[in-house]
Amino acid sequence: MLSSISKCVTLGVVSTDSVTSSRGGGKLRTARERAREEITNEITAVARRQLAEVGASALSLRSVAREVGMVSSAVYRYFPSRDELLTQLIIDAYRSVGDAARTAVEAAVQHDLRARWQAVAGAVRAWALANPHEFGLIFGTPVPGYRAPVDTVDPAAAVPTALLQILVDSLARGGRVAWRDRPVPPVLHAELTELRAGLSGVLHGSELLDDGALTQGLMAWTQLIGMISFELFGHLHNVIADHDVYFTHQIGNIAIDLGLAE
């Protein structure tokens, strides 16, 4: 009975499992478990490499197995389905872009809010250009039926959180957001209140985010991903040739709307 549960859990997010199991036992348990974790990591690593090469739709579990050096059916000991492997890659991608954004924003001068906004925006775009297939995996058309929300929702929040933190810091020193004075319909106000409450755990001073600032922040997040999507998915073709200057300029424009500049 207990074993059946451990099996079910082990099929999920493996890395956290190993942490919890090591926490429970003091050190890594059996050699079998270590081998299992190692092989699982190798599979995801190879899958990540192939994803970067051929994209999500062409990613083949058999091809991954071939490169790892085992037969396809053996992979099913570690991932119950191809979609589950893809879900793991989605989580990894969220973590990857989140790390990129966090690193960039920490490297920026903290009190220069506009620089921080440009840093996170530029980092996300640079990450997307360097890993277009991973970007498409998380922000493009959902490949499996619909992605498992429960595992992905946490790492997915990293970038928008970093973005909203800038807004909070701006509001703390009297910054004003473009749509501050526009009335928000009651239903949306209730939603935003709940959202703000949910953010209080990961955001220092989330209560400073009034409805206008929150909608403006969500819109900035939408604009950022929308612009990168347009660029990566070819919708700037025959419209804008120099994507760098276009992106930089529009990011500057958004900074104005966010009340971060001039």
Partner DNA sequence: AACATTTGAGAGCAGTGCTCTTGACAATGC
Partner DNA sequence: GCATTGTCAAGAGCACTGCTCTCAAATGTT
Which residues form the interface with a second copy (CB under 8 A)? 55-57, 136-137, 139-143, 146-147, 149, 153, 156, 178-179, 182, 184-185, 187-188, 191, 195, 198, 215-216, 218-219, 222-223, 225-227, 229-230, 233-235, 237-242, 245-246, 248-250, 252-253, 256-257
Minimum distance between the CB of residue 134 and DNA, rounded to whole angstroms? 17
In the chain, alpha helices (H): 2-10, 14-25, 31-54, 61-68, 72-75, 82-107, 113-130, 132-139, 149-156, 158-172, 186-199, 211-232, 243-257
- Record the tokens describing residue 6, joined without a space: 């451990």
Beta strands in the chain (DSSP E): none
241 binding partner (options DNA, a second copy, none; Cβ < 5 to 8 Å by kind): a second copy
Give the residue with the Cβ less far from a second copy, 63 or 248: 248
Q: Which is nearer to a second copy, 82 or 116 (by Cβ)?
A: 82
Q: Contact residues for DNA (CB under 7 A)?
A: 3, 6-7, 30-32, 35-36, 39, 59-63, 69-74, 76-78, 80-83
Residue 153 binds: one of a second copy, DNA, none (C-beta under 5 to 8 A by kind): a second copy
* Phi, psi values for residue 177, rounded to 5°: -100, 155
Exposed/middle/buried for 38, CB within 10 Å: 0-12, 13-18, 19+? exposed
**Binds 14, which of a second copy, DNA, none (CB < 5 to 8 A, cut-off by type)?**
none
